[in-house]
């Protein structure tokens, strides 16, 4: 054991465990709903080396602290920890530094090399990005199918706990998971609460979804005080402003409105008023769309139960359907829709059927404690 004195041992714990706790405590009043804490643990927390007692205790403490903080701050701030292996920091404090690791050292790491501080920085950035990382707008459960011959059933739960009927982006993620976990079929049949959907693999991580048909009739949304439909290019009073809207159901309800500039919108102020409008008794998803040209759109979406999300497959389909109804987008052609989270391609087929093409990328895999 290391001949570490009592005060020295406590000093390591103060820096390694107490400091992250108190820093988070001090910053807590300033976190918004997208806040994220990334602590730094180490593989030493679970894989000890001789004469590292104080360091190992501190890093084990960070791992336990991260679990506790994640539970305490659930729903407000995401808390994660990075536990790296060997990190060579020599270049940061010695000019002309030459790494001294051996081939045997490198063989201990699956990557075949010793890590550098940039590796931790890059992972920390990825963990901190709510819309692209393990932060999420909801949870998808992959269940046993209910339709004979189907491969699975998808159930999706929004951030507020409500259950959604369908999620165009979610179903591509389900398809990618099924494909990479033993169901490597070029076409997959997936049950949803809005019916059976067929998903076809178009390339590496690229999926095309047969989204079914759309309708603009009030009963399908449902919508009240707006007539029976089609609900195309109608006025809607939302608080103090009058909007022109087109309402579309693609298995779940959407309200689409055209704006001159989507980037300037204060969606956190506008979105809730649409979502809870009295005309939509089951609430509504709202798409704000800027027309670039007939086959290129920019869009932002406020989803019922989740707030603004950076991508929405059903919302993108509803948007192209609405603009097709308005005569602004051509039926039978690919329409490219740019969202904050990437691009989706939508095509309106005969009989108001919809095709959606987009990617699905695995960010990470792990075990969640609930």
pLDDT of residue 35: 79
Domain residue limits, the chain: 6-128, 138-210, 213-358
pLDDT of residue 370: 47
pLDDT of residue 369: 53
What dotted CATH number matches 138-210?
Answer: 3.10.310.10
Question: pLDDT, tens digit, for every residue of 304-328?
Answer: 988 888 889 999 999 999 999 999 9
Q: Are 155 and 193 in contact (CB under 8 A)?
A: yes
DSSP per-residue letters across 91-135 = GGTSTT------HHHHHTSTTSS-B-HHHHHHHHHHHH-TTTSS-
What class has domain 213-358?
alpha beta
What is the overall mean pLDDT for the chain?
Answer: 89
This prediction's pTM: 0.65
What class has domain 6-128?
alpha beta
Asked if the model's pLDDT at residue 196 lies above 70, the reply is: yes
Q: Are 4 and 54 in contact (CB under 8 A)?
A: yes
> Does the annotation mark 143 as catalytic?
no
Q: Which of 247, 255, 312, 317 is catalytic?
A: 312
Fold match, 6-128 / 138-210:
no
pLDDT bucket at 93, cuts 50 / 70 / 90: low
**Four-point Cα dihedral 141, 142, 143, 146, nearest 10:** 110
Share of the chain above pLDDT 90, in %: 58
Q: Which of 167, 247, 255, 329 is catalytic?
A: 167
For 123-132, what is the mean pLDDT?
A: 64
Asked if the model's pLDDT at residue 131 lies above 80, the reply is: no
> Does the annotation mark 141 as catalytic?
no
Question: pLDDT, tens digit, for every residue of 270-315?
Answer: 999 999 999 999 999 999 999 999 999 999 999 998 888 888 999 9
């Amino acid at each position: 054991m290391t001949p570490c004195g009592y005060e020295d041992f406590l000093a390591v714990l103060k820096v390694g465990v107490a400091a992250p706790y108190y820093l988070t405590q001090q910053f807590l009043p300033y976190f918004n709903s997208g806040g994220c804490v990334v602590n730094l643990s180490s593989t030493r927390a679970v894989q000890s080396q001789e004469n590292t007692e104080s360091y190992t205790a501190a890093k084990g403490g960070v791992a336990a602290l991260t679990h506790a903080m994640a539970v305490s701050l659930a729903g407000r701030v995401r808390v994660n920890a990075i536990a790296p292996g060997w990190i060579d920091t020599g270049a940061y404090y010695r000019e002309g530094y030459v790494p001294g690791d051996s081939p045997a050292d490198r063989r201990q790491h699956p990557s075949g090399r010793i890590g550098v501080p940039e590796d931790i920085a890059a992972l920390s950035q990825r963990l901190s990005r709510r819309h692209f990382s393990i932060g999420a707008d909801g949870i998808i459960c992959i269940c046993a199918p209910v339709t004979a011959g189907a491969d699975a059933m998808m159930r999706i739960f929004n951030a507020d706990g409500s259950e959604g009927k369908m999620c165009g982006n979610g179903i591509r993620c389900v398809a990618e998971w099924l494909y990479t976990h033993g169901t490597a079929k070029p076409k997959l049949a997936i049950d949803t609460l809005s019916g059976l959907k067929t998903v076809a693999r178009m390339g590496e991580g690229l999926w095309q979804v047969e989204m079914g048909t759309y309708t603009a009739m009030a009963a399908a949304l449902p919508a009240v005080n707006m007539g029976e439909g089609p609900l195309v290019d109608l006025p809607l009073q939302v608080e103090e402003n009058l909007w022109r809207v087109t309402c579309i159901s693609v298995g779940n309800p959407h309200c689409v409105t055209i704006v001159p500039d989507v980037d300037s919108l204060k969606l956190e102020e506008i979105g809730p008023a649409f979502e809870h409008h009295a005309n939509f008794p089951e609430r509504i998803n709202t798409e704000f769309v800027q027309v670039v040209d007939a086959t290129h759109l920019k869009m932002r979406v406020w989803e019922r139960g989740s707030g603004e999300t950076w991508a929405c497959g059903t919302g993108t389909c509803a948007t192209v359907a609405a603009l097709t109804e308005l005569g602004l987008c051509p039926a039978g052609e690919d329409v490219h829709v740019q969202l904050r989270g990437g691009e989706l391609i939508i095509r309106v087929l005969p009989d108001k059927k919809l095709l959606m093409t987009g990617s699905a990328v695995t960010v990470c895999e792990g075990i969640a404690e609930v």
